[in-house]
Amino acid sequence: MNREQKIDHVVSLLMDDYAKGRVIDENKMFEYPDKDVVIDILEKLKVVIYPGYYRNNNYRTYTVRNNIAILLEDIIYNLQKQTAIVLRYTPQYENKTQQEIAAEAERVTFAFLERIPHIRAYIETDIEAFYEGDPAAYNKDEIICTYPGLYAIFSNRIAHELFLLGVPLIPRIMTEHAHSLTGIDIHPGTTIGKYFFIDHGTGIVIGETTEIGDNVKIYQGVTLGALSTRGGQNLRGKKRHPTIHDNVTIYSGASILGGDTVIGKNVVIGGNAFITGSIPEGAKVSVKSQELMFRYSSDKPVETREIDPEDTCFHKI
């Protein structure tokens, strides 16, 4: 068999495999949202949210109004088009006409755009929380331009509003894009209050039905998750993730699990704590009886030192 025959043979094998009728065999090229377009929408919305920080390199304009107007035209066209594609994923639109779906996509798009001032108001508080909470931040420009935690929060606040409007798939594409860039995984269904601060951020996981109040600070490696997902699709729509009230600090490596778990106001959760039950207001939670071991040489005994949680679990890197 020569090279061309080998290629033709492999193509024939694949075509036979594609004909088996499985989920991975479906051809949805024109029924599926364009991921690159959705990410481009998110990046253009970043310019709208921070008009003085990011440039629109596609157009040369000389006033903020003209720049935003051109950006919005582009966002409206693409968001409306992508929304019309994904609405068919919801049962209520399966049998709707293309005109009805297009009308709903337009309504949703403009309803979302009208929420941008609300989104910007919350992001302003997030920036303030980052600045007040991180002594390594020398100015707010540095936070806006470089902090992955803020980018993850920005992406989530955009995606959450689309999620609330019933738009499928697109919000998840946005938050998973942020996840891939930052290592911070926040489901678009998560409800987050004002002044939210993610410090460092890598490895944070926050589940769909999590509720987070105002002035909450979370460090790297924290999980706000479900106790179990064995129920699979039977758990859809149920409260599976914890509720975090105002002024809570959760240090690195902590896991807080379960839909019935409520963390009261002003609670401090120490590093590596594993919590599956509610914590009352004002409590400090730490891991008990940690111990360090030192071996200096073979002729000296091993030295042990007990760690005081008050000195260690709340230590900031």
Q: How many domains does the chain have?
A: 2
Q: Is the pLDDT of residue 158 over 70?
A: yes
* Same domain flag for 245 and 305: yes
* Same domain flag for 180 and 37: yes
Q: Is the pLDDT of residue 259 over 80?
A: yes
Q: Report the pLDDT value the prediction gives residue 89, as an integer from 0 to 100.
A: 86
* Same domain flag for 290 and 308: yes
Residues 6 or more apart from 205 whose CB is under 8 A from it? 185, 222, 223, 224, 225
β-pairing verdict for 223-225 and 205-206: parallel
* Same domain flag for 133 and 223: no
β-pairing verdict for 303-306 and 291-294: antiparallel
* Same domain flag for 172 and 316: no
At 26, is the pLDDT very low, low, confident or very high (cuts 50, 70, 90)? confident
pLDDT one-digit tens code per residue, 188-219:
999 999 999 999 999 999 999 999 999 999 99
Last residue of a domain, one of 153, 185, 217: 185
* Same domain flag for 280 and 306: yes
CA distance 76 to 128: 30
* Same domain flag for 303 and 172: no
Domain for residue 313, yes or no?
yes
- Please give the DSSP secondary-structure letter assigned to residue 300: S
* Same domain flag for 144 and 31: yes
Domain for residue 20, yes or no?
no
Last residue of a domain, one of 185, 206, 238: 185
pLDDT > 90: percent of the chain: 73
Rounded average pLDDT over 4-20? 92
pLDDT one-digit tens code per residue, 57-102:
665 656 778 888 889 999 999 999 999 999 988 888 888 899 999 9
The pLDDT mean for the chain works out to 89
Domain for residue 207, yes or no?
yes
* Same domain flag for 278 and 142: no
Range of the domain at 44: 25-185
Domain for residue 310, yes or no?
yes
* Same domain flag for 198 and 177: no
Domain for residue 15, yes or no?
no
CB atoms within 10 A of CB 45: 22
Check which CATH number belongs to the domain holding 58 and give it: 1.10.3130.10
CB atoms within 10 A of CB 44: 20
Q: pTM of this prediction?
A: 0.85
pLDDT one-digit tens code per residue, 38-53:
999 999 999 999 987 7
* Same domain flag for 180 and 299: no
Q: Report the pLDDT value the prediction gives residue 294, as an integer from 0 to 100.
A: 73
At 29, is the pLDDT very low, low, confident or very high (cuts 50, 70, 90)? low
* Same domain flag for 146 and 198: no
Domain for residue 2, yes or no?
no
Rounded average pLDDT over 286-301? 70
At 314, is the pLDDT very low, low, confident or very high (cuts 50, 70, 90)? very low
At 287, is the pLDDT very low, low, confident or very high (cuts 50, 70, 90)? confident
Domain for residue 47, yes or no?
yes
